[in-house]
Structure 1
Amino acid sequence: MVLDNLGHTKLINKDTANVKSNLIKALKIRTAIEDNSGIIVNKLHLANYYVALKDTTTAIDYAKQANTLATRIKNTRDILSSLLILSKIDKNNTNLHFNKYLALNNDLETNERQIKNTFARIRFETDEYIEKTKRLTLKNTILIISAFAFIAILSLLYFLKLQRAKNKQLILEAQQQQANEDIYKLMLNQQTKLEEGRIKERNRISEELHDGVLGKIFGTRMGLGFLNIQGDAEMKKKHLSYIDELQDIEKEIRTISHDLKNEVLLKKQEYSELLKTLIKTQSDISNFTFILENNATNYLNETTDTIKINFYRIVQESLLNITKHAHANAVHIYINFDNGIINCTIQDDGVGFKSKKVNKGIGLSNIASRVEVLNGKYSIESSRAKGTKLTILIPFKTKTHESH
């Protein structure tokens, strides 16, 4: 790449000394390692070199070779570049090459607009779904408050009339019990509908992220990777860092896309193996080593689905926080069962923070919310340059508890 770029830069500056030797040497190296994308760029630079020497025949030959290889590996950017060069130098076929260039360029612009429209639709529908969920939550809250108020009124009337109508006590208690059961059934049915809608939406968003947004980001990263950035070393370093950051975003979107569909698997696979797979996958993505000590395998497999799902998400959220903020090299996850309590400790050797001054972001808020749902407790210990330790305590319940 250095030899190729050196020769091309000198050619741009109209300095033809050693240009051909640098370009030919670079082409041989890239051919030896089968770097097809590099070979295409090399041949396009050689075509420009022979154009500068007014050797049109050789220039056309290199441009056609580049076009053939770019077409074979479906490298759209270089297909366009080769067609543009051919349209300028192949006088006998100028219109043919230029029409192909225009047709391909128009197709790319059309696809790009479609991807943008798809992403805008995803964002709009997501916002619409969130707003609908808020309204539904408010409606449920009002319904529950009204129901409890109704029960309170019945209870008050019951106690006021107790002295005069003791014989109605059993009837009123039966009515109260029936009201409670109706309220619970209503809440359960509503929760089921919400869950079904959420799963469908997650699957749809997962597919859109994976098939639409991820492809767009990948194309953008590839395009940036082949840009010939002019400037000082700092500018080129920033260019490379932005490309690396796009690649990290691709990995994160791919992980999010896959994780959006994982929840239903909690009921179909060995739960402890799912946890191990989650941790290993995140360690591969974030490049940290991990030690998993799970002494509560049987208890986790026998516990309720509610605990399984929320505990899985707590571990997942903790690992994502480590990836985003801790920059850790090693993570130790310890799970134990003691006196009816599932005890989980997640400790990393990352940069840490002052735990007294930490702001609750979305990640920590999600963890706190899920622990609260399970009637558990959690604590965070951290200090600068000494890592972070998250401890979670969750009361154990079996599936018989959930069914009752």
Structure 2
Amino acid sequence: MEKWQDPNVIALWIAISVVMVVTILLFVVKIMHSGYKRMMQANLRQARLQVEHQKKLVETALVAQERERTRIAADLHDGLIGRLTLVRMKSQVGATPVEVEGLLGDSIAEARRISHDLTPPLLDFSPMHDLLDNLLDPWQQKLDITYRPDIRAQIDLTPENKIQLLRIAQELLTNVIKHSGATQLQVTYRQTEKSIILLFKDNGKGFDTTILKNGLGLNSLEMRAQYLNGRYLLRSAPGKGTRAVVAVNLAA
């Protein structure tokens, strides 16, 4: 009998083969387990980062809401209540009806302005590009504003979505007026069946986005964009103006 035909030799080779196969399988399982563990750890880190980011956005939302309440209270106290108090004082010291009528007219106008800021009139029936036009129009005297509505499809936005878009536009406009030092502003509103693009571009002094990227206003804009299932993008540099884009996906 040949040596390789010896049952003991055959059994030995079978045992060696089994050991090798088991060793290879264990090695493969270990590699797969290690890779799976690294993948799970990466997913957990990503999940923690997302949770922390969402928490920060919620905190920003609460602060923004409180800031808005404070602003409205200040408008009521310093604007409307102050004017009405003046009307009462004038009437007590014998002001003429014409003077009192003028002061009452100013008070009514102030009340309308505050009401317009809270909920724009005809919100349900006005198209979004007209609401933006009404928002920008009062600032034409202080800033050279070029507004370009690009309506490629008629869509029905909910009042909640219109309000969020208007609040985004108000925030961007406030940033331009208060902080940019710009003299010119280009606003583009593009509306299609699947998306909305809102672009603000100014010729102001710009800023370093790596320094101010976590500001309250910027976080508030990102929060509102996420509410609309959209994204907020900002590009700026010192001396080069600022370009802000809000892209909303309507197909999702």
- TM-score, length-scaled by structure 1: 0.35
Equivalent residue number for residue 288 of structure 1: 143
Among 188, 194, 208, the residue aligned to 1:354: 208
Q: Aligned in 2, Cα 1:201/1:323: closer, same or farther, shift over 3 Å?
A: closer
Shift of 1:204: 7.3
Which amino acid in 1 is paired with 2:205?
Answer: V
Among 118, 121, 129, the residue aligned to 1:261: 118
List gaps (5 residues or longer) in structure 2. 1-68, 86-109
Alignment map for 1:47-126 (pairs within 5 Å):
none
2: CA distance, partners of 1:394 / 1:359: 21
Report if the CA contact (8 A) 2:153-2:193 is conserved. Answer: no
Which amino acid in 2 is paired with 1:326?
Answer: S
Q: Aligned in 2, Cα 1:306/1:263: closer, same or farther, shift over 3 Å?
A: same
Q: Aligned in 2, Cα 1:326/1:338: closer, same or farther, shift over 3 Å?
A: same
Shift of 1:272: 2.1
2: CA distance, partners of 1:213 / 1:363: 29
Shift of 1:338: 4.9
Which amino acid in 1 is paired with 2:144?
Answer: T
Q: Aligned in 2, Cα 1:366/1:343: closer, same or farther, shift over 3 Å?
A: same
1: CA distance, partners of 2:140 / 2:123: 20
Report if the CA contact (8 A) 1:296-1:336 is conserved. Answer: yes
Equivalent residue number for residue 388 of structure 1: 242
Equivalent residue number for residue 235 of structure 1: none
Equivalent residue number for residue 128 of structure 2: 271
**Residues 185-223 of structure 1, C-alpha deviations (whole Å, 9 max, x = no match):** xxxxxxxxxxxxxxx99987754442235789xxxxxxx
Equivalent residue number for residue 318 of structure 1: 172
Equivalent residue number for residue 100 of structure 1: none
**Residues 327-386 of structure 1, C-alpha deviations (whole Å, 9 max, x = no match):** 111000112235711112110000100112214333222211110111111110001111
Report if the CA contact (8 A) 2:176-2:202 is conserved. Answer: yes
1: CA distance, partners of 2:113 / 2:218: 18
**Residues 2-44 of structure 1, C-alpha deviations (whole Å, 9 max, x = no match):** xxxxxxxxxxxxxxxxxxxxxxxxxxxxxxxxxxxxxxxxxxx
2: CA distance, partners of 1:324 / 1:261: 21
1: CA distance, partners of 2:243 / 2:112: 24
Which amino acid in 1 is paired with 2:249?
Answer: P
2: CA distance, partners of 1:273 / 1:201: 28
Among 67, 75, 81, the residue aligned to 1:212: 81
Among 218, 221, 224, the residue aligned to 1:370: 224
- 1:331 maps to 2:219: no
Q: Aligned in 2, Cα 1:314/1:348: closer, same or farther, shift over 3 Å?
A: same
1: CA distance, partners of 2:223 / 2:175: 16
2: CA distance, partners of 1:254 / 1:385: 39
**Residues 302-339 of structure 1, C-alpha deviations (whole Å, 9 max, x = no match):** 22222211111111110001011001110001122357
2: CA distance, partners of 1:369 / 1:316: 14
More helix by share: 1
The number of aligned residues is 161
Report if the CA contact (8 A) 1:206-1:260 is conserved. Answer: no
2: CA distance, partners of 1:396 / 1:277: 24
1: CA distance, partners of 2:175 / 2:83: 22
1: CA distance, partners of 2:112 / 2:176: 15
Equivalent residue number for residue 247 of structure 1: none
Alignment map for 1:8-27 (pairs within 5 Å):
none
1: CA distance, partners of 2:223 / 2:191: 22
Equivalent residue number for residue 309 of structure 1: 163
CA RMSD of aligned residues (A): 3.5
- Local SS of the residue matching 1:273: helix
More strand by share: 2
- TM-score, length-scaled by structure 2: 0.54
Aligned-residue identity in percent: 22
Report if the CA contact (8 A) 2:153-2:191 is conserved. Answer: no
Q: Aligned in 2, Cα 1:264/1:353: closer, same or farther, shift over 3 Å?
A: same
Which amino acid in 2 is paired with 1:302?
Answer: D
**Residues 272-313 of structure 1, C-alpha deviations (whole Å, 9 max, x = no match):** 2221010121333xx1111111112754x5222222111111
Among 179, 193, 196, the residue aligned to 1:342: 196
Equivalent residue number for residue 97 of structure 2: none
Shift of 1:260: 3.0
- Local SS of the residue matching 2:239: coil
